[in-house]
Chain A
Amino acid sequence: MIVRMARVRIAGPRPRLDAVLAELQDAGVLHFDRPRLPEVVPADGAVARQRRHLERCLRDVATSLERLQVPAAPGVVSDPPAALPRAVRRARRVRRHAERLHLSQAALEDERMLLLRYREFFQAFESLVGQELTWPDGQAFYVVLRAGAENALGALTQSLQATVSGEVEVLHRELSTGEWAVLILASSGAAVKVAELLSASRIDELPAPPGLGTSNLLRALPGLKARLAAIPAEIATIDAERAALRRDVSGWLCGLQAFLRDRLLLLDARARVHAAQHLFLLEGWLPAADVAPLERRLQAAFGPEVVVAAIGKEQGAAADAPVALHNPAIFRPFEMLTRTLPLPRYGTIDPTPFVAIFFPAFFGVMLGDVGYGLMLAIVAGLLRLKSRPGTMLRSGSMVAMACASSAVVFGILFGELFGSLGHLVGLRPIFNREEAPMSFLGLAIAIGGVHILLGLVLASVSAWRRGRRREAMGRGVTLAMLVFTATALLAALRVLPPGLFTPFAVAVLVAFPVLVALEGVVAVIELLSAFGHVLSYARIMALGTASLMLAVVANQLVGAMGSVLVGVVFALLFHLVNFAIGLFSPTIHALRLHYVEFFGQFFSPGGAEYRPLGHWHASS
Chain B
Amino acid sequence: MEIALIAFAAALAIGVPALATAWAQGRIGPAAAASLAEKPELSTTAIILIAIPETMVILGFVVAVLILLRTGA
Instruction: Point out residues on A near B: beta carbons under 8 Å.
Output: 340-341, 437-438, 441, 535-536, 538-539, 541-543, 545-546, 588-589, 591-592, 595-596
Check if B48 sits within 8 Å of A541, measured CB to CB: no
Indicate which residue in A438, A539, A542, A591 contacts B69 across the interface (CB closer than 8 Å). Answer: A438
Check if B51 sits within 8 Å of A592, measured CB to CB: yes
Cα of A596 to Cα of B45 in the assembled complex, Å:
10
Interchain nearest-CB distance for A581 vs B (Å): 13
Task: Give every chain B residue within 8 A of A588 (Cβ-Cβ).
Answer: 47, 51
Q: A437-B69, A438-B69, A596-B52 are in contact. Are A541 and B62 (CB under 8 A)?
A: yes
Cα of A543 to Cα of B54 in the assembled complex, Å:
11
Interchain nearest-CB distance for B43 vs A (Å): 7
Check if B65 sits within 8 Å of A538, measured CB to CB: no
Q: A438-B69, A595-B44 are in contact. Are A546 and B52 (CB under 8 A)?
A: no
Indicate which residue in A341, A441, A589, A591 contacts B62 across the interface (CB closer than 8 Å). Answer: A441
Q: Give me 9 A-to-B residue pairs in the complex whose CB atoms sit less than 8 angstroms apart, sorted by A's number.
A: A441-B62, A536-B55, A538-B59, A542-B58, A545-B65, A589-B54, A591-B51, A592-B47, A592-B48
Cα of A589 to Cα of B43 in the assembled complex, Å:
15
For the complex with contacts A341-B44, A545-B65, 19 further pairs of A-B residues with Cβ separation under 8 Å are A340-B43, A340-B44, A438-B69, A441-B65, A538-B62, A539-B59, A542-B58, A542-B62, A543-B58, A545-B61, A546-B61, A588-B47, A588-B51, A589-B51, A589-B54, A591-B48, A595-B44, A595-B48, A596-B52
- Closest residue of chain B to A337 (Cβ to Cβ) is B44
Task: Give every chain B residue within 8 A of A539 (Cβ-Cβ).
Answer: 54-55, 58-59
Cα of A592 to Cα of B50 in the assembled complex, Å:
10
Cα of A441 to Cα of B70 in the assembled complex, Å:
14
Interchain nearest-CB distance for B52 vs A (Å): 7
Cα of A340 to Cα of B43 in the assembled complex, Å:
8
Check if B51 sits within 8 Å of A538, measured CB to CB: no
Main secondary structure of the interface of B (DSSP, over half): helix
Check if B44 sits within 8 Å of A437, measured CB to CB: no
Interface size, B (range): 10 to 19
- Closest residue of chain B to A596 (Cβ to Cβ) is B48
Interchain nearest-CB distance for B6 vs A (Å): 16
Cα of A595 to Cα of B48 in the assembled complex, Å:
8
Check if B48 sits within 8 Å of A538, measured CB to CB: no
Check if B48 sits within 8 Å of A542, measured CB to CB: no
Task: Give every chain A residue within 8 A of B62 (Cβ-Cβ).
Answer: 441, 538, 541-542
- Closest residue of chain A to B50 (Cβ to Cβ) is A588
Check if B61 sits within 8 Å of A542, measured CB to CB: yes
Cα of A438 to Cα of B72 in the assembled complex, Å:
13
Cα of A591 to Cα of B50 in the assembled complex, Å:
12
Cα of A437 to Cα of B65 in the assembled complex, Å:
8
Cα of A535 to Cα of B47 in the assembled complex, Å:
21
Interchain nearest-CB distance for A537 vs B (Å): 10
Interchain nearest-CB distance for B46 vs A (Å): 11
0 or 1 for each of B27-68: is its CB under 8 Å from A? (1 = yes) = 000000000000000011001100110110011011001100
Check if A538 sits within 8 Å of B58, measured CB to CB: yes
Task: Give every chain B residue within 8 A of A538 (Cβ-Cβ).
Answer: 58-59, 62
Task: Give every chain B residue within 8 A of A541 (Cβ-Cβ).
Answer: 62
Interchain nearest-CB distance for A347 vs B (Å): 23
Task: Give every chain A residue within 8 A of B52 (Cβ-Cβ).
Answer: 592, 596
- Closest residue of chain A to B70 (Cβ to Cβ) is A438
